[in-house]
Amino acid sequence: MVAVCLNFQIHQPYRLRTDYNFFCIGRDHNYEDSKTNRDITRKVADRCYIPTNRMMLDLIRKHKGRFRISYSISGVCLEQLEKYAPEVIDSFKELVNTGCVEMLNETYYHSLAFNFSRQEFHDQVLAHQDKILRLFGVRPSTFRNTELIYSNDVALEAEKMGFTAILAEGANQILGWHSPNYMYQPDPCSSIGLLLRNYRLSDDIAFRFSDRNWEEWPLSSGKYAGWIHKIAGSGEVVNLFMDYETFGEHQDKDTGILDFFHKLPSEILRHPDFKFQTPLEVVSSLKPAAKLDVPYFISWADVERDLTAWTGNSLQDSAIQMAYSLEAAVKKSNDTNLIHAWRKLLTSDHFYYMCTKWFSDGDVHKYFNPYTSPYDAYVVYINVINDIKETLKQYEVLN
């Protein structure tokens, strides 16, 4: 049988105050735009999380456990949901309690820590693991790095940390003649299973669904299920990974996205050789089709599917260097509030806002972006970093 593996990313960063200027440094330690963070969390909760969770619960009950899904929810998103939309947390608990939902592990602060500090990476993964255990009563066995950033080294580190499965982008540059529709084993690993996102089928829903210029518009559940069914005989798993905000936020409910997805499981399950499984279930039931060597970093971002959404230009590289250079001093301070504030600055979105690439994916870059330009994002960020440096002076921990 062919497994359909659905994974949804759920993330909202703490956005900084756009008016945090040079004259705030040393005087004002209130960095975040609480109103914007609250308003966006409530908006997305009302438009996406609440109605979509209700739909997912209905589908699980309707199909009596045959419909199965997984979620990767960042720690900073969970914090904001606890504060501004606690009913969303309750609805996720209800989903987990069905036994048909797998919760995945990621970096707590949705950061690039693996690329810049392995110790911070470990700390964030363990913090996220503890958060998931505390809120939902489960300990994740599948790892999904921030924005599907992946390489051999990420897989090896995840295996050492005890994970059974890891997710990555099925990028053309790493697949070669391979298909994303199989389970693989990372080249340097001996036990962990690798699942690759089928980006074409995922993006048909996440990006193209409401595009009236798309040759396949309008997309029906039956047509899409037919594309899935064509994989029978040439694959063992179809990995559909996307932002949860696809439902009701990126794709407004008026596009018919919720009705489309509500009908989709029935259409897929019409074929007797298809089933739904979570990542852990897929890896536990399949043998690796081959070893897969990924010596360099890939991600699911933009058409390049590399790290240039967050690194590479002078603004991004300067901001990242300044932020991570404070790690030792911040941790020596033993000030839990300061450490938390610093770690929230490691969230990948801050560097995404500084991206200066010509925007082949411009609308994606602008999503909930509070800044009018990458330079504005950089100036605010550096002002906040410099205030943290000023605060650290009282602890006498700076070199």
Which residues are known to be catalytic?
A: 147
C-alpha 274/C-alpha 24 separation (Å) is 58
Which tokens in the block code for residue 354?
């500084």
**H runs (alpha helix) in 230-278:** 257-269
Which tokens in the block code for residue 93?
């608990």
Half-sphere exposure at residue 153, Cβ-oriented, CA atoms within 13 angstroms: 10
**H runs (alpha helix) in the chain:** 34-44, 50-62, 75-84, 86-96, 113-116, 118-136, 152-160, 172-175, 199-206, 221-229, 257-269, 279-285, 314-325, 327-333, 336-344, 349-352, 362-365, 374-392
CB-based contact 192:163 (threshold 8 Å): yes
SS3 content of the chain, % helix, strand, coil (to 5): 50, 15, 40
C-alpha 110/C-alpha 12 separation (Å) is 9
Angle at 186 between CA 139 and CA 361, to 5 degrees: 85
Write the single-letter amino acid at 164. Answer: T
What letter would DSSP give residue 47? Answer: I
C-alpha 278/C-alpha 282 separation (Å) is 6
Closest-CA residue to 143 (of 279, 337, 13): 279
Which tokens in the block code for residue 168?
């990555």
CB-based contact 198:234 (threshold 8 Å): no
